[in-house]
Structure 1
């Protein structure tokens, strides 16, 4: 089905809006981290903190939230610039962005024990990164696609990133004595407890990937979903 010019314009606007929202959220997060000492998860088994200063800012890039927002922001910005992206590597990163931001929203809102910072900058960044970005990302993907891009090999390759993230985080945590989330708090939970949490999140990754694959197949020719022959 041929995609109309109006749908292409709307797709670009949605992708651009998603990218800007992600980048604003990350910038606000980094600004707050630069000016404040990092907070510990509730009942943390460690006491290491970062910041204020450049160490606190750089440490934010170790958060899954920051990484998923950056990946989503960059891939949607690239789509806003050029919708006709047929590179398989691009669509793998596009898939990573959609799945990871969905995990970010679900885990933050339903799993993590978070405490509001009562700071307009920090709380605005949190809402943008954990609530608005997942909703806009998934709805934009469902409506505009690009369609016919979710395949089993791409899901497999996309799954390597969260595995790598878990290994990196646990290794860095053992060295720095710091962990970004309470579900990865080795001093409190031990490696068996953390391993159970990581496996649970990876199962969530597979469930989301399966849902996206099903939607991609069922809705490939619905709404205004963009489809290119080589994507």
Structure 2
């Protein structure tokens, strides 16, 4: 019963957060579909009711936690150097509420849900590395998309990926930092997925 309530709460938070975010971006809502956070949130909503896709649910939970950490520590942190608080992407109260739900409220709820429904078998040793495939594909698509656009338009989505301002070496370093975060969280999830050892009889 508690697990169902937790899943329902997570779904409501994500739906409301996504709705607020799309309302705030009414001038160009399709642009939001390019964001890593939005893609992960939509995929998580699809997978959330399904109980038999443990590895996919684990991957999406890891990605949700990563988006939350990046938002809190980097994008919403005025001292990070990559803050988006004072940019055009900060669209006001509605956008702030949506970001709060998607980045601050949803990741802990998703983590709590995963912990209550941890996979019963440990994934293979390469699982944590495999979690890098989707972010790498997304990053490649975003960089190619931005490279082929008008240089006067902001198409890099996140300031830490802005090649025009930072250059490729810095963007690569930033990407490696986030890749390391995904790996660490993936290794942690894989470790927690292992079934507890059977108690030895005296």
Does structure 2 conserve the Cα–Cα contact (< 8 Å) formed by 1:69 and 1:133? Answer: no
Distance 1:149 1:30, change over 3 A: farther
Does 2:182 align with 1:205? yes
Q: Which position in structure 1 is the counterpart of 2:69?
A: 106
What TM-score does the superposition give when structure 1 sets the normalisation length? Answer: 0.73
Residues 112-121 or 195-204, more deviating: 112-121
Summarize the alignment of residues 32-47 of structure 1 with structure 2, pairs less than 5 Å apart: 32-34=24-26
Cα offsets for 1:34-58 (capped at 9, x unmatched): 1xxxxxxxxxxxxxxxxx2xxx100
SS of 1:111's partner is: helix
Q: Which position in structure 1 is the counterpart of 2:16?
A: 24
Higher helix share: 1
CA distance, structure 1, for counterparts of residue 39 and residue 16 of structure 2: 14
Q: Which position in structure 2 is the counterpart of 1:61?
A: 33
Cα offsets for 1:115-157 (capped at 9, x unmatched): 1647332111011011001110112211232443644344343
List runs of 5+ in structure 2 lacking aligned partners.
76-82
Summarize the alignment of residues 10-159 of structure 1 with structure 2, pairs less than 5 Å apart: 10-34=2-26, 52=27, 56-76=28-48, 78-79=49-50, 83=51, 85=52, 90-112=53-75, 113-115=83-85, 117=90, 119-148=92-121, 150-159=123-132
Deviation at 1:12? 2.2
SS of 1:114's partner is: coil
SS of 1:179's partner is: coil
Deviation at 1:20? 2.2
SS of 2:25's partner is: helix
Deviation at 1:98? 0.6
CA distance, structure 1, for counterparts of residue 134 and residue 9 of structure 2: 25
What is the RMSD computed on CA atoms of the aligned residues?
2.1
CA distance, structure 1, for counterparts of residue 111 and residue 125 of structure 2: 19
Does structure 2 conserve the Cα–Cα contact (< 8 Å) formed by 1:147 and 1:220? Answer: no
List runs of 5+ in structure 1 lacking aligned partners.
1-8, 35-51, 222-231
What TM-score does the superposition give when structure 2 sets the normalisation length? Answer: 0.82
